[in-house]
Copies of this chain bind each other. A is one copy, B any other.
Amino acid sequence: MKKITLSEASKLLLNNDKFHILTHRYPDGDTLGCAFALCYALRGMGKKANVIISGNLPSKFTYLAKNYSEQDFSYEYVVSVDIAAPSLLGELQEEYENKIDLCLDHHGSNSMKAKNIFVDASCAAACEIIYVLIKEMRAKFTRDITNAIYTGISTDTGCFCYTNTTAQTHRIAADIISLGCDFTEINRINFETKTRAKIKMERMVYDTMEFYCGGKCAIIYTTLAMQKALCAGDDEMEGLASIPRQVEGVKIGITMREKEDGTFKVSVRTNDGINASDFCARFGGGGHVAASGCSIKGDLKTVKYMLIRAAEEVL
């Protein structure tokens, strides 16, 4: 395990070949944006590289793979992007956990085992790191690369709205828009389009909203039964976590999502500097200051009670 600079990471990539680039499970726009941008950049330099997705590519992100097809080779160098902890490798953990040569991430809590690690927690999105890295490598920025990077930085910042956005985030957006990127189409897909099932799911979720701690804590949930009733897939479930925090006066917004394995996936979003990562650490989770997550085993009532108790203690 060696902490390296971005310039050293660039050299490692330039001096190696036959890459497997890993995403985290439940892949989002940032991990996928990183993986595809880096893959296209390496291929553009004549190297072999594949994106190895943990789980499935969500249908809304298929545009990232428009000009991608898997290459046939045995991998020699493994890169993880936007993956904060070994468990987040999901189905890839067994095969790759101890074989990661280079870990690139923006989570301050990063606990990956990797030969070389570069973490910059000041970046709103891991795609900001990949942008600087590709510049450092002097690879050519194709439209596919700019689209992938824009996807990561726009989705991880809620289209430049969340508190993690920085001057650098906007500067990179300006650069990749100048380089030619289909940002209007990407915005439309990620921020301006809802399926009818998603609208129905949002309405159902609003009906579950309850307030605690004098209105400072709002909590919503989805159950497997609700999801089944609406034939809702992962696309419909996305973005629900931002709903409770949006309510005026709410400082801790909690979203509980029932999973097949008897656990609830919990997303916590906070306002006014309340530490969501500390909140989730109580339940073995973590993440960012204003946006974190954890998994809790139990039935709806019990898990909800545990979360409300924790909110009461924090507030």
A161, B192: Cβ atoms under 8 Å?
A: yes
Within the assembled complex, what's the spacing in Å between the Cα atoms of A195 and B246?
8
Query: Which A residues, 166 to 180, have Cβ-Cβ distances below 8 Å to chain B?
Result: 166-171, 173-175, 177-178
Is the C-beta of A165 less than 8 angstroms from some C-beta in chain B? yes
Is the C-beta of A188 less than 8 angstroms from some C-beta in chain B? yes
Chain A binding surface SS class: helix
B171, A174: Cβ atoms under 8 Å?
A: yes
Within the assembled complex, what's the spacing in Å between the Cα atoms of A193 and B166?
20
B160, A192: Cβ atoms under 8 Å?
A: no
Query: Which A residues, 28 to 74, have Cβ-Cβ distances below 8 Å to chain B?
Result: none
Residue of B167, B192, B194 touching A178 (CB-CB under 8 A): B167
B173, A245: Cβ atoms under 8 Å?
A: no
Chain B neighbourhood of A203, CB < 8 A: 203, 206
Among residues of B, the one whose C-beta sits closest to the C-beta of A215 is B196
B159, A193: Cβ atoms under 8 Å?
A: no
Chain B neighbourhood of A192, CB < 8 A: 161, 245-246
Distance from A1 Cβ to chain B, minimum over Cβ atoms (Å): 34
Residue of B167, B177, B191 touching A177 (CB-CB under 8 A): B167
Distance from A170 Cβ to chain B, minimum over Cβ atoms (Å): 4
Is the C-beta of A263 less than 8 angstroms from some C-beta in chain B? no
Within the assembled complex, what's the spacing in Å between the Cα atoms of A81 and B206?
39
Is the C-beta of A281 less than 8 angstroms from some C-beta in chain B? no
Chain B neighbourhood of A184, CB < 8 A: 163, 165
A194, B161: Cβ atoms under 8 Å?
A: no
Residue of B159, B245, B246 touching A161 (CB-CB under 8 A): B159
A173, B160: Cβ atoms under 8 Å?
A: yes
Distance from A116 Cβ to chain B, minimum over Cβ atoms (Å): 30
Is the C-beta of A247 less than 8 angstroms from some C-beta in chain B? yes
A193, B248: Cβ atoms under 8 Å?
A: yes
A247-B196 contact given A160-B159, A170-B170, A174-B171, CB 8 Å threshold? yes
Chain B neighbourhood of A162, CB < 8 A: 187
Chain B neighbourhood of A194, CB < 8 A: 246-248
B174, A161: Cβ atoms under 8 Å?
A: no
Distance from A234 Cβ to chain B, minimum over Cβ atoms (Å): 15
Chain B neighbourhood of A227, CB < 8 A: none
Chain B neighbourhood of A168, CB < 8 A: 174
A199, B188: Cβ atoms under 8 Å?
A: no
Is the C-beta of A271 less than 8 angstroms from some C-beta in chain B? yes
Is the C-beta of A77 less than 8 angstroms from some C-beta in chain B? no
Residue of B170, B177, B199, B246 touching A174 (CB-CB under 8 A): B170
A170, B177: Cβ atoms under 8 Å?
A: yes
Within the assembled complex, what's the spacing in Å between the Cα atoms of A306 and B163?
44
In the A-B complex, the 7 residue pairs with the closest CB atoms: A170-B174, A167-B177, A171-B174, A170-B173, A163-B184, A167-B178, A167-B174
Q: What are 15 sample pairs from A and B whose C-beta atoms fall under 8 A apart?
A: A159-B159, A159-B160, A160-B173, A161-B187, A161-B191, A162-B187, A163-B184, A167-B173, A170-B177, A174-B174, A193-B247, A193-B248, A194-B246, A194-B247, A203-B203
